Structure 1
Amino acid sequence: MNPRLLPASVLLFSSVLLSSVLTVVRAQQGGCAPDGNVKFICGVVSPEDLVAVPRSEWVVASGFSGGAVHLVNTRDYTTTEVFPVATPRERFDKKMYAACPGPIDPGEKDKFSAHGLAVREGSNNVHTVYVVHHGFRESIEVFEVDTRAKPPTFTWVGCAIAPPTASFNSVSPVPGGGFVATNPNRRGPGASQGGTNTGEVFEWSASEGFKVVPGSESQGPNGIEVSRDGKWLYVNLWPASQVMRLSRGQTPMKKDVIDLPFHPDNIRWQPDGSLFAAGHGGPNNQRVIECLRKVCSDATSNVARIDPQTLKMQHIVKYPSNEKFYSSTVALQVGKEIWLGTITQDRIARYPAP
């Protein structure tokens, strides 16, 4: 696979994702029966991203194509739709999110799209959830999840409206209450400038709003995670089949890049301190893009384990596409399983951990 995709291919990938927002995700053939030793949690539409809620048995799942945000129980595998709902819980933090115009318009309905996710650990089992949102507005929507309640409550608290040039993909919190978000493809005037560097990472703070992270201009930045101390960003570059480690707030700026044998979508911290990058594989770039929304015998769902210190990579999952599951976008270690999300189907795959 040639890791040097032209910008046109980046735009094609984005158009595939955007068109899939309008696609109704149907129940897969064969119901929810296992695929060999791979089991499924069904009824979660287009779970593009997954993130664990700290100190709990819950995982948050996004709903990219006509779905919703769900909470998934890691013990009994039940799912609860938490947003949008008929009567959403709201507690607008106008001090932190002063520029937010207010809650999401309930008229969005099936136009609501939840993309990337992140959780900031809080106290007393109340945590902050960040959701990359597409719909009537492009934004990062902010919620609180309270796991003391049974089932947990999910409360909208604010938002940050994306800059005119941005349509965000992934988000991750940084120390101090802010967050960073990836913009794979600039929009509007100047969108084509920068050669193969089609996008960048933005950082948001309550005092300054959005600013571009220095040195983050890159080729299709997708998934993102931040080190606990806030000094390092780990960014998946989907078109380039690479992961970039970029310093934050350090002089001089430092940047390292490693190659992967597939196109990495989301990246996620794991309980053991490693990073999992998940994404799409195939015989060539065009074939990978073609197979994002259909079953192809030569396409695969992949996971790489990455050491954040050495950047050493281990390819731990290569799951052939099939009618039950394809186009994996995220990987999360849950006990002795690796859970895989997808943009296209109504399920989460429970893949045996190696």
Structure 2
Amino acid sequence: MELPVKYAAVLAITAFSATAFSAIDCQPLGPVSFICGVLNVEDLIALPGTTWILGSRFARGQGRPGGLYLIQSTTGRVTEPTIDYSVSPDAAYSVCPSPPDGAAFGAHGISARMISRSRARILAVNHAGRESIEVFDLDLHAGNKPPTIRWRGCVVAPPEASLNAVTHLPGAGFAVTSFGDKSDKDSARKMVSGRRSVLSPNGLPLEAGRGCRSRPWPPPTVSWPPQMARCSTWRLGETASCT
């Protein structure tokens, strides 16, 4: 299921400029319709088999917290879901120290997989409070009632990581990219000057039966948690493998 172009374009614009919409007052512009009232939308994903779109809201300092948006694609209705953080982590994420502070959740890349007809497993890169992958269950409801979201656990990345995109892998695994090394004060300059390859440590589209090769990161001196393996070559099929 692909995101309709008009929604993809408009929500991408809101991530960069909220003031642009005050000028046009959210009126259609030719064949293009707009969805207003969303800020800092970093990533979008259409929930398979539904009319709902999930968006991540990137935190932009004090007074502009991060989080998630639920967007009804047929009406343009936008909902900011209240996430339930009251549950304990699933057994698969037992090493997760605690839920994030609800006020300190800065979503970046997101990925969704339907695990039943009415439930999706959501992975979200988080930059606020800790560098991590946060795991959620999103439950769909009949009618136009917005989905509800519960936190299920996390995988905390090493402090050197700058996570960006995340995607589900076959089975229970996932792949995540990092576009910088926080321990290297020259990381940004090296990236801009081309001294560090950014061939694929940023966005990471993966499809079954196709491979992806990227320059490995981080260096072997960085210790990743056991749930996260360092890979330079991916091959997807019924299972995922990396080397």
TM-score exceeds 0.5: yes
Distance 1:172 1:76 in 2: 28
Contact 2:108 2:125 in 1 (8 A): yes
**Which of 123, 129, 141 is the aligned partner of 2:116?**
123
**Which of 135, 156, 159 is the aligned partner of 1:161?**
156
- The residue number in structure 1 matching 2:49 is 55
Judged with a 3 Å threshold, the aligned counterparts in structure 2 of structure 1 residues 107 and 247 are, in CA distance, closer, same or farther, namely: closer
The one-character-per-residue Cα deviations of 1:104-151 (angstroms, maximum 9, x if unpaired) are 11342xxx4211111122113211011111111111111111113532
**Which of 93, 97, 102 is the aligned partner of 1:101?**
97
Q: How does 1:153-192 map to 2 (within 5 A)?
A: 153-188=148-183
Q: Does residue 226 of structure 2 align to residue 227 of structure 1? A: no
TM-aligned CA deviation for residue 190 of structure 1: 9.1
Distance 1:160 1:197 in 2: 30
- The residue number in structure 2 matching 1:45 is 39
Judged with a 3 Å threshold, the aligned counterparts in structure 2 of structure 1 residues 103 and 247 are, in CA distance, closer, same or farther, namely: closer
Contact 1:89 1:156 in 2 (8 A): yes
**Which of 89, 92, 103 is the aligned partner of 2:88?**
92
Contact 2:200 2:213 in 1 (8 A): no
Judged with a 3 Å threshold, the aligned counterparts in structure 2 of structure 1 residues 40 and 25 are, in CA distance, closer, same or farther, namely: closer
TM-aligned CA deviation for residue 89 of structure 1: 4.8
SS in 2 for 1:96: helix
Question: Which has more helix, going by share of residues?
Answer: 2
Judged with a 3 Å threshold, the aligned counterparts in structure 2 of structure 1 residues 186 and 115 are, in CA distance, closer, same or farther, namely: same
Judged with a 3 Å threshold, the aligned counterparts in structure 2 of structure 1 residues 114 and 28 are, in CA distance, closer, same or farther, namely: farther
Contact 1:185 1:191 in 2 (8 A): no
Pick 1 or 2: higher relative contact order, CA cutoff 8 A, min separation 6: 1
TM-aligned CA deviation for residue 197 of structure 1: 6.1
**Which of 12, 24, 31 is the aligned partner of 1:30?**
24
Contact 1:45 1:68 in 2 (8 A): no
Amino acid at match of 2:183: G
- The residue number in structure 1 matching 2:106 is 113
Scaled by the length of structure 1, what TM-score is found? 0.49
- The residue number in structure 2 matching 1:248 is 235
TM-aligned CA deviation for residue 37 of structure 1: 2.2
- The residue number in structure 1 matching 2:70 is 71
Structure 1: gaps spanning 5 or more residues: 1-20, 199-216, 236-244, 255-354
Judged with a 3 Å threshold, the aligned counterparts in structure 2 of structure 1 residues 247 and 197 are, in CA distance, closer, same or farther, namely: farther
Contact 1:90 1:157 in 2 (8 A): no
Identity of aligned pairs, percent?
A: 34
Distance 2:136 2:119 in 1: 10
SS in 2 for 1:103: coil
Amino acid at match of 1:138: E
Judged with a 3 Å threshold, the aligned counterparts in structure 2 of structure 1 residues 92 and 25 are, in CA distance, closer, same or farther, namely: farther
Distance 1:179 1:94 in 2: 16
Contact 1:197 1:219 in 2 (8 A): no
**Which of 149, 152, 159 is the aligned partner of 2:147?**
152
SS in 2 for 1:28: helix
SS in 1 for 2:94: coil
Judged with a 3 Å threshold, the aligned counterparts in structure 2 of structure 1 residues 153 and 233 are, in CA distance, closer, same or farther, namely: farther
Question: Which has more strand, going by share of residues?
Answer: 1
Distance 1:53 1:69 in 2: 14
Distance 1:93 1:222 in 2: 28
The one-character-per-residue Cα deviations of 1:203-248 (angstroms, maximum 9, x if unpaired) are xxxxxxxxxxxxxx6447221122135x53488xxxxxxxxx9543
Structure 2: gaps spanning 5 or more residues: 1-14, 215-231
Work out the number of aligned pairs and report it: 197
The one-character-per-residue Cα deviations of 1:154-201 (angstroms, maximum 9, x if unpaired) are 111111111222111110011121111111112215975999464xxx
